[in-house]
Chains A and B, each alone.
Chain A
Amino acid sequence: MTPGSAAPPAETLGPVDRRPDPVQLRCPVLAAEPAAAYRRIVLDAGEAARRALPGQFVALAVGEPPTAMLLRRAVSIHRARAVDDRFGGAGTIEIVVAPHGPGTQWLTRCRPGDTLDVVGPLGRPFPVPASGEARPAVVVGGGYGSAPLLWLAAELTGDVDVVLGAATADRLFGVDEAEALVGSSRTWVTTDDGSAGEHGRVSLVLERLLSRQLESAPAVDVYACGPMAMLRAVQELAAPAGARTWLAVEESMACGIGICMTCVLPVRGEDGVTRMTRSCLEGPTFDGERIRWDAIAFGPGGAHSAVPEDCLGAPQASGTGH
């Protein structure tokens, strides 16, 4: 041990890490088609496709070069196929893009034959139980947050329930895919306005599934992706039920590769210390128990994080901070 090694490293979420190194590629668009309120895009992604794991994302440059939109758009990987027979055996990455603003709108205008500058695969994949260990799981997707979860569900070996929720029917994504994967009896749909499935939020169904699971061992794992407010609701239901949660957060990112420090969340490391933690590098999938929900507020512009007082390097009351 060197004398300096007493100092805590910046990364502390544990040694178990399946993150492959990313690559930067120019990827031809193989297919682009509407999917509910979103657009599903298939990329010829070669090495990135071969490396990607469920829960990871890609960071895409947007706009015709030279573009005035400098920041990459982080989009979760809906599915990666090392060999995609639909496209002559190419390695493909499929993404689902929601047109939020000018950058994502540009992405939804891509056509087959166009080329996208892609960095990926990025981020920490969802942890999955060791092979042979079949644990029951519930996956919960809000809106297009379901995109990375169906690939994950296909890789889980235990019984899986899929809960898909959205504000309105046209904002649901992946219902058919889920039914094909786990059957309609294990696919649960909610909408805020009642235009499809049950009238209400995903928490309605999750609560029911968790109480059912309570009576049986082993404990259930909950995987979720969607807006931060939904993730908090999932955590609040799952934790008392003894379920482990893996939550994929959606933070806005400038780079996606860990160099800009903008996508941070207060998260407790394995040493118990809270740090402002990069969601691109140490997330986007986090153990829900480690997220400092007490420091996350929900405003009109979305979720934002305060710096908890006990965070490593938090400003001192004396004012020696920033």
Chain B
Amino acid sequence: MTTTDARTPTRTDGGPTATGLDPRTTIGSLTLTNPVLTASGCAAAGRELGRLYDVAALGAVVTKSILREARSGRPTPRMAETPSGMLNSIGLQGPGIEAFLAHDLSWLREQGATTVVSIAGNDAAEFAELAGRLAGEPGVGALEVNISCPNVADRGLVFACDPASSAQVVAGVVEAVAGRVPVLAKLSPDVTDIVAIARSVLDQGADGLAMINTTLGMVIDTDALRPVLAGVTGGLSGPAIRPIAVRCVWQVHAAMRAGLLPPRPIVGIGGILTGLDALQFVLAGASAVQVGTTTFHDPSAPWRVGRELAGELAARGFTRVADAVGHAHAVLEQEGAW
């Protein structure tokens, strides 16, 4: 029996490690001691992982999306395993903001964890109200705006699939936050032109992008002859969607390099299992990454990937995370010049 490293992560104060790499990264005004965060919906509000290790050692804890009211979520079954991935249809189950502030945010603060609070809403006004309340709470490092939920005012169409709806939500959030914490907009890959969606939210003052959310999928039970999930369709996540996610980060970062989008930090998300997976996102243009579904497979993953990514960056001669961000674009540009 051997103990995994999961049990003994140590806090870092930031600054260069023994490998010569400075693992710090920034998202707007927020400095992270390392570039690997949990992903929304894959770490609850940190407390459960806190039974296994010190969550303050993570780049940040990104909470499950918080809504104004408590929400029961959907009936079961809510989940199906798929090749190198899973489908989920949870329905944003959560306790509502009052209970979050009283029981969860206070706990995260006590741990000294860097916290990114994910917010969701039925309409733009709910997003703005939540953002205004949270931005003033001690212990909130940044907000992530989960626009991959249905817009009740627009026939349940997902905000993130429409540039105007996305812009409306982000504009309200940015105004309510008034610069107190960075605002990240989390994008859905289920769009024709992700650069257009990115532009719509950056033009409204989003400080950065988190990408990608799950992509819509479905599994049918061939014995019961019906869909497996009670919600019929669900969000596909895990390594199965990693190439889609790397492509999305690549396209948006390329548009930033070309001057077609304002340059803002990207947080890469999608099927990261190892430090090398995370490195792909950094090279494509991400300043930080989130580990989501892999946390179900390996609870230590958000911490482990941070350590592995630092090692991989150092092994390639990088001394700062920022120097590696989008480096694969630079390599292509150089090759093109030859």
Contact = CB atoms under 8 A, between A and B. Distances in A.
Interface of A: 2, 4-10, 21-28, 44-47, 61, 66-72, 90-91, 103, 117, 119, 251-252, 254-255, 257-262, 264-265, 275-276, 281, 299-301, 304-307, 311-315, 319-322
Given A8-B99, A70-B297, 10 more contacts: A24-B7, A25-B4, A46-B3, A91-B1, A257-B49, A257-B51, A259-B296, A301-B223, A307-B74, A315-B72
Nearest to B85: A70
A4 B100 CA distance: 9
B72 A25 contact: no
Interface in B87-125: 88, 90-96, 98-99, 101-103, 106, 122
Contact of A312 (B72, B103, B296, B298): B72
A319 B6 CA distance: 43
B298 A61 contact: yes
Contacts of A319: 152
Interface residues of B, number: 66
A25 B273 contact: no
Interface string B201-237: 0000000000000000000010110001011000000
B77 A252 contact: yes
A7 B102 contact: yes
20 contacts: A2-B106, A7-B98, A8-B99, A9-B95, A21-B51, A24-B6, A25-B4, A26-B1, A46-B1, A46-B3, A66-B239, A70-B86, A70-B297, A71-B81, A90-B1, A259-B42, A259-B48, A261-B41, A264-B93, A299-B224
A95 B103 CA distance: 35
A103 B79 CA distance: 16
B4 A24 contact: yes
A103 B81 CA distance: 10
Given A7-B95, A66-B273, A25 B2 contact: yes
B136 interface: no
B84 A68 contact: yes
B102 A2 contact: yes
A275 B72 contact: yes
Contact of B72 (A260, A304, A313, A320): A313
B52 A24 contact: yes
Q: Which of A9, A262, A306 has the most CB of B within 10 A?
A: A262
Contacts of A70: 81, 84-86, 238-239, 293-294, 296-297
Nearest to A5: B102
B72 A311 contact: yes
A301 B221 contact: yes
B180 interface: no
| Secondary structure call for the A interface | loop
Given A307-B72, A321-B71, A27 B98 contact: no
Contacts of A91: 1
A252 B79 contact: yes
Given A23-B3, A25-B3, A259-B296, A6 B98 contact: yes
Contact of A254 (B3, B79, B122): B79
A319 B274 CA distance: 41
B75 A259 contact: no
Q: Which of A6, A27, A66 has the most CB of B within 10 A?
A: A66
Contact of B122 (A6, A257, A320): A320
Contact of B297 (A44, A61, A264, A305): A61
Nearest to A266: B72
B323 interface: no
Contacts of A260: 42, 79, 88, 90, 296
Given A71-B297, A257-B48, A313 B93 contact: yes
A314 B93 CA distance: 10
Contacts of B81: 69-71, 103, 254
A301 B226 CA distance: 10
A322 B121 CA distance: 10
Q: Which of A117, A307, A319 has the most CB of B within 10 A?
A: A307
B78 A262 contact: yes
A46 B2 CA distance: 8
A255 B73 CA distance: 18
Given A7-B98, A264-B93, A276 B298 contact: no
